[in-house]
């Protein structure tokens, strides 16, 4: 079955970096994009950006530009999200999701990972 499995929880100090992985299975990895969405405690969903697994093109949320990098490894069907210069307000659950982008149109995010909790604390 189609699924995305994310790496485990992380605890980081302010100023550090975190890299979360998202391993895809059950579909042709390069036929879809992967997006990253985060959710701070008790808050709503925040879109972080997406990467095309076909050509590696990325689109990042403006507020995260310069601190976030999304990459893929097509040999292992794995996507990665690295966030640098962590602050306390980066504490959140981070989700990857299959991103349905076809013909320059966004259709939705149909398969989600289980989430990775990232805690930033001194």
Partner 1 sequence: QSVLTQPPSVSAAPGQKVTISCSGSSSNIGNNYVSWYQQLPGTAPKLLIYENNKRPSGIPDRFSGSKSGTSATLGITGLQTGDEADYYCGTWDSSLSAGGVFGGGTKLTVL
**Does 115 participate in binding partner 1 (rule CB under 8 A)?**
yes
Which residues does 63 contact at the CB level (< 8 Å), separation at least 6? none
Query: Between residues 62 and 122, which has the closer beta carbon with respect to partner 1?
Result: 62
**Does 47 participate in binding partner 1 (rule CB under 8 A)?**
yes
Pick from 39, 59, 30, 36: nearest CA to 48: 36
The single residue among 68, 100, 117, 119 that binds partner 1, judged by CB under 8 A, is 100
Which burial class, exposed, middle or buried, applies to 13 when counting CB atoms under 10 A from its CB (0-12, 13-18, 19+)?
Answer: exposed
Question: To the nearest whole angstrom, how small is the minimum distance from the Cβ of residue 19 to partner 1?
Answer: 20
DSSP 8-state assignment for residue 65: T
Question: To the nearest whole angstrom, how small is the minimum distance from the Cβ of residue 37 to partner 1?
Answer: 8
Mark the segment that binds partner 1 (CB under 8 A) among 7-15, 22-30, 78-86, 101-109: 101-109
Number of helical H runs and strand E runs in the chain: 0, 11
**Does 37 participate in binding partner 1 (rule CB under 8 A)?**
yes
**Does 94 participate in binding partner 1 (rule CB under 8 A)?**
no
Please state, in angstroms and rounded to a whole number, the distance separating the CA atoms of residues 47 and 96.
10
The single residue among 22, 24, 34, 35 that binds partner 1, judged by CB under 8 A, is 35
């Amino acid at each position: 079955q189609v699924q995305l499995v994310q790496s485990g929880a992380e605890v980081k100090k302010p100023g550090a970096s975190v890299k979360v992985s998202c391993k895809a299975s059950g579909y042709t990895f390069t036929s879809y994009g992967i997006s990253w969405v985060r959710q701070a405690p008790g808050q709503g969903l925040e879109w972080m950006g997406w990467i095309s697994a076909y050509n590696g093109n990325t689109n990042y949320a403006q507020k995260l530009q310069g601190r976030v990098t999304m990459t893929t490894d097509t040999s292992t069907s794995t996507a990665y999200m690295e966030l640098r210069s962590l602050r306390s307000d980066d504490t959140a659950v981070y989700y990857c999701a299959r991103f349905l982008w076809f013909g320059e149109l966004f259709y939705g995010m149909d398969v989600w990972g289980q989430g990775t909790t990232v805690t930033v604390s001194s």
